[in-house]
Amino acid sequence: MAKLKKRGAIFISGWGSNLQVFLDNKEKFEQLVVVSSSVEAYGLKRAEENGVDSIILGQPIDWKALNQSLDEKQIDFIFCAGFMKIIPSSFIKTWEGRIFNLHPSLLPKFKGLRAIERAFEVSDAIGVSIHHLVAEVDSGEVVLQETAFEKESYSGLSIEEVSQQVQSVEHQLVKQWIESQTLSQ
């Protein structure tokens, strides 16, 4: 069966370590484009180093123009990896079923900001989810999920150590998601 490679847009705002997982696997895609909400995002440097095009969003974001650029590039999916801007529901609707988000918690627990810190404060289980992005924050159907720490299993570790481990689980989960997108279809 022929492998159909997809064209993906990776939305970022900063460091881009999860973007790096896509870049390290870029041969699995027909095309990747990086969309950054900040001109200062380190992820833009990663894109450039890997010969991947990027789009830097203005302020305010022109969502209609962005949609048009993504259409022109025939983008199949959007993956938000640390994208810190609120996406309007009209844009989400256009991409329904084809827009995903990475979130550092075992959804539906700890939706929203400071998810790791909030779980840490109450010694709850901590993990990572990849879910469909819908208008309500961190509420779309979960497609992949992995636990980094069971409940009360990280006493003695600092929040930095825990966060570092969670991030490495994120990278593994992103890799797994990429594999799931690049199977024969």
Instruction: Kindly report the backbone phi and psi dihedral angles of residue 35, in degrees, each rounded to the nearest multiple of 5, phi listed first.
Output: -115, 120
Helices (H) and strands (E) in the chain, counts: 6, 7
Give the residue among 110, 181, 96 at the shortest CA–CA distance from 148.
Answer: 110
Out of 32, 75, 82, 100, the only residue in the binding site for ligand GRF (CB under 6 A) is 82
Q: How far is the CB of 39 from ligand GRF (least distance, A)?
A: 15
Q: How far is the CB of 159 from ligand GRF (least distance, A)?
A: 13
148: tokens are: 């980094």
According to CB under 6 A, which residues from 14 to 33 bind ligand GRF?
14-19
The residue (of 2 and 42) whose beta carbon lies closer to ligand GRF is: 42
How far from 68 is each of 5, 28, 99, 135, CA to CA, in Å? 21, 24, 16, 20
According to CB under 6 A, which residues from 113 to 152 bind ligand GRF?
none
Q: How far is the CB of 3 from ligand GRF (least distance, A)?
A: 26
Q: How far is the CB of 116 from ligand GRF (least distance, A)?
A: 8
Collapsing DSSP states into helix, strand and coil, what is residue 2? coil
Q: How far is the CB of 128 from ligand GRF (least distance, A)?
A: 7
Burial of 29 (0-12, 13-18, 19+ CB in 10 A): buried
**Number of alpha carbons in the 13 Å side-chain half-sphere of residue 40:** 0
The residue (of 17 and 181) whose beta carbon lies closer to ligand GRF is: 17
Out of 87, 91, 100, 103, the only residue in the binding site for ligand GRF (CB under 6 A) is 103
Out of 8, 104, 127, 140, the only residue in the binding site for ligand GRF (CB under 6 A) is 104
Residues that bind ligand GRF (CB under 6 A): 12, 14-19, 81-82, 102-104, 170
